[in-house]
DNA sequence: TTAAAACCTTTGAGTCGCTACAAGGTCAAG
DNA sequence: CTTGACCTTGTAGCGACTCAAAGGTTTTAA
């Protein structure tokens, strides 16, 4: 009964913020943030000042979350949204943006593989637990500075532990 | 002459902040930030209130920058510095920290490889420049939400473009 | 000698993409 | 009528810096 009612509501064309969040695998605060940032248009409001969303909003938010899951920046996403909004234009720039972003990812993979190599080298300097004074790892880290050639934007190793789960 | 004088100065045991920065491949603002964060001890001061550093500072900063180049967090680095400071302790925890961090990197590599696969799939949806309305990429991005299983801390694709060059 | 350039200082704000909180308003169920 | 789930705004915080303002000091060179 309650389920049926909920189902009916779900098949309606409007919803409030937390249902939109659930359907888009996002969360309410992120949606308000996107609105502030101009990625989502201002929602219409109910009498009690609640944001009211339509399927169009859901589609746009889904697009954005999809892009974020591919580690694009909000800037990159803004560009893509502009093309979505002007369907008569040539999409060559979309392709270019995607090629660039693929390169961002590929480059970052290369950097991290080099990092892994260096870290395994370092780890090999102290196979057993000994006194810290004799630890090859601590010694190795005191040594020279290896170059870090990073010109990238794909996020870090320590980054998204508690975030990006979709729900809040 | 100026070079010789500079060389003499360089072989002295103390220096000001920008020389320390240069020698450690860092920059002055980062050094002040590390001091605020307690990663570097407070420097002694000259009569005119300038920070004065010794080789010990240079070594500690070199250690920190080396760790950062390996994408460790400042938290991870703090732990390592504690072990450096107590040489009688067993270094097993150092090894464990490094193993964990290697896993952070390996996991991030895996995530990015999956990302690359998805992005290349998407790119294949629009080999040529056509009208945005018919662009397979924009269409693909409007589709379902792929899971993003990130539990990591190694930074992103778009991150370090203008940073981490060492100089300011 | 003096003026400009190159340092140094502190403080505070900005970056990115959220996330979390506080303090309050609204609404349906029991 | 109260509880609790939802909604609102505004603000602050995360990590690891980076930059700018507004001023003090030191070095260089005309
Ligand atoms: Zn990118
Ligand atoms: Zn060891
Ligand atoms: Zn780590
Ligand atoms: Zn296209």
pLDDT of residue A24: 95
> A94 vs B126: CB contact, 8 Å cut-off?
yes
Give A43 CA → D7 C1' in Å. Answer: 14
**Residue B48 CB in 7 A reach of strand D:** yes
Pairwise CA distance, residues A108 & B115, whole Å: 11
Structure tokens at B155: 């930074």
* Structure letter (DSSP) for residue B153: E
Of B63, B92, B109, the CB nearest to A112: B109
pLDDT of residue A2: 42
Residue B78's alpha-carbon distances to A98, A144, B43, B136, in angstroms, are 39, 19, 18, 48
pLDDT of residue A68: 94
Torsion of CA B103, A167, A164, B96, to 10 degrees: -20
Give the closest-approach CA distance of A5 to chain B in angstroms. Answer: 26
Interface mutation vs chain A, best among B80, B89, B91, B161, most A CBs within 10 Å: B91
pLDDT of residue B83: 92
pLDDT of residue A5: 41
- 3-state secondary structure at position A158: strand
Give A47 CA → D7 C1' in Å. Answer: 12
Q: What is the pLDDT along chain B (168 residues), one digit of tens a residue?
A: 333 333 444 457 899 999 999 999 999 999 999 999 999 999 999 999 999 999 999 999 999 999 999 889 999 999 999 999 998 899 998 999 999 999 989 998 998 999 899 899 989 998 888 899 999 999 999 986 666 656 678 877 776 433 444 443
The number of residues in chain A equals: 168
Give the confidence band of A165 by pLDDT, cuts at 50, 70, 90: very low
pTM for this predicted structure:
0.84
| Mean pLDDT on A110-114 | 90
Give the closest-approach CA distance of A46 to chain B in angstroms. Answer: 27
Q: What is the largest CA-CA distance in chain B?
A: 70
Pairwise CA distance, residues B35 & B114, whole Å: 39
What is the enclosing helix (H) or strand (E) of B45? strand B44-45
Of A144, A146, A154, the CB nearest to B157: A154
pLDDT tens figures, A58-108: 999 999 999 999 989 999 999 999 999 998 899 998 999 999 999 989 998
Give the closest-approach CA distance of A70 to chain B in angstroms. Answer: 6
pLDDT of residue A147: 65
Backbone conformation region of residue A149, classed left if phi is above 0, alpha if psi is from -120 to 50, else beta: beta
Q: Which of A107, A102, A105 is nearest to A149 (CA)?
A: A107
Give the ranges where B70-91 is alpha helix by DSSP (H).
Answer: 74-85
pLDDT of residue B160: 47
Of B134, B157, B161, the CB nearest to A71: B157
Whether A150 contacts A111, CB under 8 Å: yes
First to last CA, chain B: 27
Pairwise CA distance, residues A139 & A157, whole Å: 24
Whether B71 contacts A115, CB under 8 Å: yes
Give B93 CA → C23 C1' in Å. Answer: 45
């Amino acid at each position: 009964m309650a389920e049926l009612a909920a189902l009916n509501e779900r098949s309606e064309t409007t919803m409030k913020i937390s249902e939109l969040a659930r359907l888009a695998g996002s969360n309410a605060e992120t949606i308000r943030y996107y609105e502030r940032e101009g990625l989502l248009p201002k929602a219409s409001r109910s009498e009690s000042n609640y944001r009211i969303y339509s399927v169009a909003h859901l589609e746009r938010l889904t697009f954005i979350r999809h892009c974020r899951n591919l580690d694009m920046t909000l800037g990159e996403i803004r560009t893509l949204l502009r093309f979505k909004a002007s369907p008569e234009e040539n999409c060559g720039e979309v392709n270019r943006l995607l090629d660039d972003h693929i390169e961002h990812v590929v480059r970052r993979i290369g950097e991290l593989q080099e990092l892994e190599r260096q870290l395994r080298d370092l780890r090999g300097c102290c196979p057993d637990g000994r006194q810290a004074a004799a630890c090859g790892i601590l010694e190795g880290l005191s040594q020279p500075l290896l170059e870090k050639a990073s010109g990238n934007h794909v996020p870090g190793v320590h980054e998204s532990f508690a975030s990006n789960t979709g729900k809040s």
